[in-house]
């Protein structure tokens, strides 16, 4: 058995959001760092709210993020026999008992406790009644009456809870369904999970789960409860804070490695390094340095992270990543080497793949379809500007070879020979080539367009009315 086995256990009641994604990233990293196993468990026992489409979407998001899991996903809805087997074992060993109290009776016990200033709890009425199975009866775990449940949380440090604070919890409901805590313990044990990393909304379940392990005589895994990700105002994260689901980030043109790096940094650190490739994360993430304080989600930082990844990744890879967005933008199937050329020109300026693809537009439409910005035209396509374009048309038609260096030289000579400044010539030329005052180096743009397309653009702009 590997030393480290982790699992990610989403409930398929919605898409994978960034909080869940970050938990999955931590689980995956820990397993990969220690050469262990990373499993996926779909917690689909809520039959009303669980949907196949969400399971599919979660798996697709995991794949896109590069979080590969070992073996087939495990579905809780198919494992009732395992759960019931454990409940029966607890009944046989006397660590659990049948309870015949009605929900109204239990509510009354809770109310009484509340009125007495105590925690609302079941009062153990059936604990020693030795009831057998029967209509409307649930099964409860016999919780020790004294002592402490102590565990060393990987994130929060030592946590100790008095057993006396807990009541005899239900492990199989009256309808025969095992409860959540029982199922999680049964699965984590069955899957050989050694490290349970999850959101700290589950931290109050952990002492209860530990008691189930102990009652069954099973080894207790290590736990790590990561704090929630908050919005900039320290409130619960929502769309309002700019947070979206993983699938939306994918659609909007984020790079998966950028999202993984950003989310990993949100709750974990290594010195002051901000950007991590997936390989670096696997190398450095060993479960230490997890921050117990809740981190705030910052969309601008995520955008910055993505831009940095776009700038530093191999061009061929960037070209492959942007290709679907180029198709989506309606530019058709642009050959990879053209895409590489476009990425060179524009990647410094875009913060996501969709914006990058959009920035290609002026260079991918034919001269006749290039939209010319009216304001820029009014300012730069003046009679003087147009006369420069006509002159440059002649200059560039005899420029050979038509590459960035030669075009640059020809342009510089034109400026020098006519005692002009670059500032007089560049704006009309840029407006002619791009349709607006944006883009990259003029010589690179022209080299990308090629001679014919460059000349057509100059001609068209020179006669722009």
Catalytic residues: 239
Give the whole-angstrom CA distance, residue 409 versus residue 423: 16
Give the whole-angstrom CA distance, residue 264 versus residue 132: 50
Query: In sequence order, what are the beta bridge partners of 245?
Result: 17
Backbone angles phi, psi at 160, to 5 degrees: -130, 135
Q: How many CB atoms lie within 10 A of CB 93?
A: 12
- Summarize as ranges the residues that interact with ligand GLU (CB under 6 A): 9-11, 43, 184, 198-199, 202
Closest separation between CB of residue 42 and ligand GLU, Å?
9
> Smaller CB distance to ligand GLU: residue 43 or 393?
43
Give the whole-angstrom CA distance, residue 27 versus residue 33: 10
What H or E segment, with its residue span, contains residue 224? strand 222-226
What does the buried/exposed string (b/e) look like for 349-365 if buried means 16 or more CB atoms within 10 Å of the residue's CB? ebbbbbbbbbbbbbbbe
> Smaller CB distance to ligand GLU: residue 198 or 265?
198
Give the whole-angstrom CA distance, residue 327 versus residue 319: 12
Strand ranges (DSSP E) for 84-126?
96-99
Query: In sequence order, what are the beta bridge partners of 161?
Result: 149
Closest separation between CB of residue 179 and ligand GLU, Å?
13
> Smaller CB distance to ligand GLU: residue 191 or 315?
191
Closest separation between CB of residue 205 and ligand GLU, Å?
7
Closest separation between CB of residue 52 and ligand GLU, Å?
17
Rounded to 5 degrees, what angle do the CA atoms 365, 366, 370 make?
Answer: 65
Rounded to 5 degrees, what angle do the CA atoms 170, 175, 181 make?
Answer: 35
> Smaller CB distance to ligand GLU: residue 4 or 367?
4
Closest separation between CB of residue 284 and ligand GLU, Å?
24
Give the whole-angstrom CA distance, residue 436 versus residue 427: 9
> Smaller CB distance to ligand GLU: residue 45 or 257?
45
> Smaller CB distance to ligand GLU: residue 12 or 385?
12
Give the whole-angstrom CA distance, residue 173 versus residue 84: 11
Closest separation between CB of residue 195 and ligand GLU, Å?
11
Closest separation between CB of residue 218 and ligand GLU, Å?
16
Closest separation between CB of residue 441 and ligand GLU, Å?
50
Cβ proximity of 356 and 258 under 8 Å: no
Closest separation between CB of residue 244 and ligand GLU, Å?
18
Cis before 401? omega within 30: yes
Q: How many CB atoms lie within 10 A of CB 256?
A: 19
Question: How is residue 28 written in tokens?
Answer: 């995956």
> Smaller CB distance to ligand GLU: residue 9 or 462?
9
> Smaller CB distance to ligand GLU: residue 222 or 301?
222
Query: In sequence order, what are the beta bridge partners of 225?
Result: 198
Question: How is residue 206 written in tokens?
Answer: 């952990």
What H or E segment, with its residue span, contains residue 424? helix 422-434
Cβ proximity of 295 and 311 under 8 Å: no
Give the whole-angstrom CA distance, residue 202 versus residue 141: 19
> Smaller CB distance to ligand GLU: residue 183 or 255?
183
Helix (H, G, I), strand (E, B) or coil at 287: coil
Question: How is residue 413 written in tokens?
Answer: 């000579």
Which residue is at the shortest CB distance from ligand GLU? 198
């Amino acid at each position: 058995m590997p030393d480290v086995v982790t699992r990610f256990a989403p409930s398929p009641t919605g898409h994978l959001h960034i909080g869940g994604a970050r938990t999955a990233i931590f689980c995956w990293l820990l397993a990969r760092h220690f050469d262990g196993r990373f499993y996926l468990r779909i917690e689909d026992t809520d039959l009303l709210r669980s949907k196949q489409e969400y399971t599919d979407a979660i798996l697709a998001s995991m794949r896109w993020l590069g979080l590969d899991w070992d073996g087939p996903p495990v579905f809780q809805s198919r494992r009732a026999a395992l759960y019931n087997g454990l409940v029966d074992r607890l009944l046989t060993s006397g660590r659990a008992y049948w309870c015949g109290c009605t929900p109204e009776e239990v509510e009354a016990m809770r109310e009484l406790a509340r009125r007495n200033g105590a925690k609302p709890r079941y009062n153990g009425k059936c604990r020693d009644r030795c009831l057998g199975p029967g209509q409307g009866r649930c099964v409860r775990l016999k919780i020790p009456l004294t002592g402490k449940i102590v565990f060393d949380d990987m994130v929060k440090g030592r946590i100790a809870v008095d057993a006396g604070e807990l009541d005899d919890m239900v492990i199989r409901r009256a309808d025969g369904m095992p409860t959540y805590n029982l199922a999680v313990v049964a699965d984590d044990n069955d899957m050989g999970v050694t490290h349970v990393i999850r959101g700290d909304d589950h931290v109050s379940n952990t002492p209860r789960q530990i008691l189930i392990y102990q009652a069954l005589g099973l080894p207790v895994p290590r736990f790590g409860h990561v704090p929630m990700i908050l919005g900039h105002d320290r409130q619960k994260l929502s769309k309002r804070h700019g947070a979206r689901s993983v699938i939306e980030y994918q659609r909007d043109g984020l790079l998966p490695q950028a999202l993984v790096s950003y989310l990993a940094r949100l709750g974990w650190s290594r010195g002051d390094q901000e950007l991590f490739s997936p390989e670096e994360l696997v190398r450095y993430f060993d479960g230490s340095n997890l921050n117990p304080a809740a981190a705030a989600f910052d969309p601008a930082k995520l955008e910055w992270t993505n831009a940095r990844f776009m700038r530093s990744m191999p061009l061929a890879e960037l070209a492959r990543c942007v290709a679907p967005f180029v198709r989506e933008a309606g530019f058709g199937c642009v050959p990879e080497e053209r895409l590489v050329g476009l990425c060179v020109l524009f990647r410094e300026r875009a913060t996501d793949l969709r914006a990058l693809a959009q920035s290609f537009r002026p260079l991918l439409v034919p001269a006749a379809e290039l939209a010319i910005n009216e304001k820029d035209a009014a300012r730069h396509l003046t009679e003087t500007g147009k006369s420069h374009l006509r002159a440059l048309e002649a200059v560039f038609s005899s420029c050979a070879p038509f590459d960035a260096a030669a075009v640059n030289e020809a342009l510089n000579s034109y400026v020098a020979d006519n005692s002009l400044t670059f500032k007089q010539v560049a704006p009309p030329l840029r407006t002619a080539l791009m349709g607006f005052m944006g883009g990259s180096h003029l010589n690179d743009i022209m080299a990308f367009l090629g001679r014919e397309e460059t000349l057509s653009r100059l001609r068209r702009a020179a006669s722009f009315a």
